Amino acid sequence: MYVGDVRLPNMLHAALVRSVHAHARIRDVDVKEALGLDGVVGVWTGREIEGRISPFPESFEIHPARWLEGVKPVLQGPRPTALAQGKVHYVGEPVAIVVAEDRARAEDAVDAVAVEYQELPVVADPEESLQPGALLIHEGSKNNVVFGFSIEKGNVDQALAAAPYTLRERFRHHRYCAAPLECRGVLAWVEPKTNILTVWSSTQMPHLVRRQIAAQLDLPEEAVRVIAPDIGGGFGPKVFPYPEEMLVPFLALELGRPVKWIEDRTEHFISTAHGRDQLHDVEMAFDETGRILALRDRFLLDNGAYNPMGLTDAYNTAAHIQGPYKIPNLSVTGTCVSTNKVPNAPYRGAGRPEAVFVMERAIDIIAARLGLDPATVRRRNFVQPEEMPYHAGILYRDGEPICYDSGNFPETLKRALEAAHYDELRQRQREARQHGRYLGIGIGCYVEGTGVGSFEGAKVRIDASGQLIIATGATGHGQGHETVYAQIAADLWGVSLDRVRLIEGDTASIPFGCGTFGSRSTVNVGSAIYGASVRVKEKVLRLAAHILEGNPDDLELGEGKVFIRGTPQRSISFGELARAAVPGWASKLPDELEPGLEAIFYFVPPTVTWANAAHVAVIEVDVQTGGIKLLDYIVAHDAGKLINPLLVDGQIHGGVAQGIGAALYEEIVYDPNCQMLSGSFVNYLLPGSMEVPSIKTVHLESPSPLNPLGVKGLGEGGAIAPPAAIANALADALLPLATPVNEIPLTPERVMQILARKEVNVEAGAV
**In this predicted model, what pLDDT tens digit does every residue of 12-52 receive, in sequence order?**
999 999 999 999 999 999 999 999 999 999 999 999 999 99
Task: Tell me whether strands 24-30 and 87-88 are parallel, antiparallel or unpaired.
Answer: antiparallel
pLDDT at 760: 42
Fold of the 122-177+276-383 domain: Aldehyde Oxidoreductase; domain 4 (3.30.365)
pLDDT range class, residue 61, cuts 50, 70, 90 = low
Helix, strand, or coil (residue 624) = coil
User: Distance between CA atoms of 629 and 626, rounded to whole angstroms?
Assistant: 10
pLDDT range class, residue 758, cuts 50, 70, 90 = low
Task: Map out the domains of the chain as residue ranges.
Answer: 3-50+85-120+179-271, 122-177+276-383, 409-449+608-767, 456-603
Fold of the 409-449+608-767 domain: Aldehyde Oxidoreductase; domain 4 (3.30.365)
The model's pLDDT over 668-707, given as tens digits with 9 standing for 90+, comes to 999 999 999 999 999 999 999 999 999 999 999 999 999 9
Helix, strand, or coil (residue 46) = helix
Percent with pLDDT over 90 in the chain: 93
For residue 767, pLDDT over 50 is answered with no
Tell me the mean pLDDT in the region 636-642: 97
- Residues whose CB falls within 8 Å of the CB of residue 284, separated by 6 or more in sequence, listed in order: 166, 167, 169, 292, 294, 295, 296, 362, 366
Query: What's the CATH architecture for 456-603?
Result: 2-Layer Sandwich (3.30)
Domain 3-50+85-120+179-271 matching CATH 3.90.1170.50: the answer reads: yes
515 sits in the region (left: phi over 0; alpha: psi -120 to 50; else beta) called: left
For residue 226, pLDDT over 90 is answered with yes
- Which residues partner with 116 through β-bridges? 28
- Number of residues that make up the chain: 767
Residue type, 678: S
Q: Determine contact, residues 402/417, Cβ cutoff 8 Å.
A: no
User: Distance between CA atoms of 709 and 530, rounded to whole angstroms?
Assistant: 8
pLDDT at 58: 80
pLDDT range class, residue 762, cuts 50, 70, 90 = very low
The model's pLDDT over 255-283, given as tens digits with 9 standing for 90+, comes to 999 999 999 999 999 999 999 999 999 99
Q: DSSP H helical segments within 499-556, as ranges?
A: 521-548
pTM: 0.96
Task: Tell me whether strands 609-621 and 598-603 are parallel, antiparallel or unpaired.
Answer: unpaired
Decide if 3-50+85-120+179-271 and 122-177+276-383 have a common fold: no
CA angle 737, 740, 746 (to 5 degrees): 105
Tell me the mean pLDDT in the region 542-557: 94
The model's pLDDT over 483-531, given as tens digits with 9 standing for 90+, comes to 999 999 999 999 999 999 999 999 999 999 999 999 999 999 999 999 9
pLDDT at 761: 40
User: Distance between CA atoms of 728 and 735, rounded to whole angstroms?
Assistant: 10
Mean pLDDT of the chain: 95
pLDDT at 764: 35
Q: Helix, strand, coil shares of the chain as percentages rounded to 5?
A: 30, 30, 40
Q: Determine contact, residues 716/446, Cβ cutoff 8 Å.
A: no
The model's pLDDT over 345-367, given as tens digits with 9 standing for 90+, comes to 999 999 999 999 999 999 999 99
